[in-house]
Amino acid sequence: MLNVDNSLALMNSSFKPNDIKIQSENDLLLKEQTDKFEAFFIKKILDISLTQDDSSKLFGKDAGDKIYNSMYNDALSDSMSGKFGFSELLFNYLKENN
């Protein structure tokens, strides 16, 4: 049985990368979108990696267990977005090439 401890990721949710230079309203909007893309990417990874067998369910087996798992992964990915570096990389790339 695999135990996943995500408390460290949630405790570090206040971490912000320092290399992003927000200079205008467009930069702020671009940063929001790159964070959303990173959250989507993280959610896809969580959906694949946190598939659980019947012996180690976080949520009980009922009609809504897939919905609860999806909501849990949404909340995790939203809280971790903007902190892995994908958003920063994409932001800097789009800002330079736009």
d(CA 42, CA 95): 22
Reported confidence tier of residue 8, pLDDT bands at 50, 70, 90: low
For the record, the structure tokens of 48 come out as: 């694949």
Q: How far is CA 71 from the centre of its chain?
A: 12
Find tokens 């949520």 and name the residue. 59
* Most confident region among 4-8, 56-60, 89-93 by mean pLDDT: 89-93
At 17-28, the pLDDT tens digits run: 556 777 889 989
Helices 25-49 and 86-96: angle between axes, nearest 10 degrees: 140
Q: Using alpha carbons, list the distances in angstroms from residue 95 to 16, 71, 90.
A: 18, 32, 8
The DSSP element (H or E) to which 97 belongs, if any, is none
